[in-house]
Amino acid sequence: MARLPIVEFLGPDWFRRAPDSSAPFYRLSPREVSQEWVDEWRTALPLSHWKLSGDEGLSSDAGNDGLPDVQWRRADITAWLNERDVDMGLGYKTKSALLGMVEEYLNPPAPEPETTEPEAEEETE
């Protein structure tokens, strides 16, 4: 289950129209919104009057190399792993856990070298 960002109007008025003209926000009444909604309207939510929690922030590529890093959103990292058919198992994975999976995908563990047992010498009498 994805966790959605929560937007809360802090005042000074009792309510404020939503920037997208949907239902108004009432003071100190938190509302779940989609990450896409936050991305579109974040500039219309000045921190002096709005509280935003659970926002993944804007996704960017630190090395501009197309490889997931800490500046990527969790959802973008998950999509990158899915494109490469990486088995992520069941349950919620944190962003750190997903980045660990990316690291393992890019740098798989080296195979263990094969060890051969020395053949036992037969004793002759």
Confidence at 35, pLDDT banded by 50, 70, 90: confident
Tell me, what's the pLDDT at 29? 92
Alpha carbon 54 to its chain centroid, in Å, reads: 11
The pLDDT of residue 79 is above 70: yes
Q: Is 114 or 1 the better-scoring residue by pLDDT?
A: 114
Residues in the chain: 125
Report the candidate in 49, 51, 57, 45 with the shortest Cα–Cα distance to residue 13. Answer: 49
Please indicate whether residue 88 or residue 58 has the higher confidence score (pLDDT).
Answer: 88
> What is the per-residue pLDDT for 125?
57
Q: If you average pLDDT over residues 29-41, what whole number do you get? A: 88
6-9 and 31-32 as β-strands: parallel, antiparallel, unpaired? antiparallel
Q: Comparing 39 with 58, which gets the higher pLDDT?
A: 39
In the sheet that holds 6-9, the strands lie side by side as 31-32, 6-9, 50-53
Q: Is the dihedral of CA 74, 43, 37, 24 positive or negative?
A: positive
Q: Give the start-to-end residue ranges of the domains of the chain.
A: 6-53, 59-107
- Average predicted confidence (pLDDT) for the chain: 83
**Rounded-to-integer distance, Cα 56 and Cα 36, Å:** 10
